[in-house]
Amino acid sequence: MIPSAQGVDSTIPLAPLLLTVLSMAGAAVALVLMGVHGAKRRVPPNDFFGIRTRFTRSGDAAWYAVHEASARWSILAGIAFLPAAILTPLISDPKGQVAAILIPATVGTGLLLVGSWRAHRVARRRLAREEGRADPP
């Protein structure tokens, strides 16, 4: 006999909950740090941390221009992840916990994607102007 689904509602177990909260907090901190250090041009080209695309890997000027232009967006994305880390352990309903994780993660990821795209456009235009070209590559 299949057990009834009525009495099964329980919160996320402690270990996965802790892992999720720490992951969301870590993502928030990493994104805010990337934004702050990117604005100050302190994120050197690397293979681990930052926006790594064909354009940003094309040279140091492109790397720094994109990270400087995306700094605000990165900080906003990091802030968007914080409610997941703060609210999830406080909610007793499992559906509420899932929503408290997915909504901030979706908003933060969206901000990061839009910010990265816009930063690429801004950086390409700025570098083209500095090089005296009319159109960005």
Domain ranges of the chain: 15-131
51: left (phi > 0), else alpha (psi -120 to 50), else beta?
A: beta
Report pLDDT for 132: 85
Positions in the chain whose pLDDT score sits under 70 = 1-9, 134-137
Tokens read off for 37: 């250090």
DSSP 93: S
Dihedral sign from CA coordinates of 100, 30, 47, 59: positive
Q: What pTM, to 2 d.p., does this model score?
A: 0.85
Distance of CA 71 to the CA centre of its chain: 11
Tokens read off for 54: 């064909």
